[in-house]
Amino acid sequence: HEGELIEFIVGKNPGHGLTKTSVRELKLPADSVVALLVRGERILLPDDQTVIRPGDHVLVVALRDAVSKLDRLFA
């Protein structure tokens, strides 16, 4: 299986659907995992309790089959 590293940028609007959501609550596809978050100048290794904020860059490692589901989740 081939994996990919995909970067999603969470909208800066505080009303974006993923803001204030913890990594555990993301409902990621089974074949994917949040590898790290970039928040401003900081790089965070997230755990299940890490909360996504507006403007975060979320890097996800996923198998190719999960990419379209991730695109919809982070849209």
Q: pLDDT tens across 20-69, in order? A: 889 999 999 999 999 999 999 999 999 999 999 999 999 999 999 999 99
pLDDT at 20: 86
Query: Each residue of 47-66: b (16+ CB within 10 Å) or e?
Result: eeebebbbbbebbbebeeeb
pTM for the model: 0.88
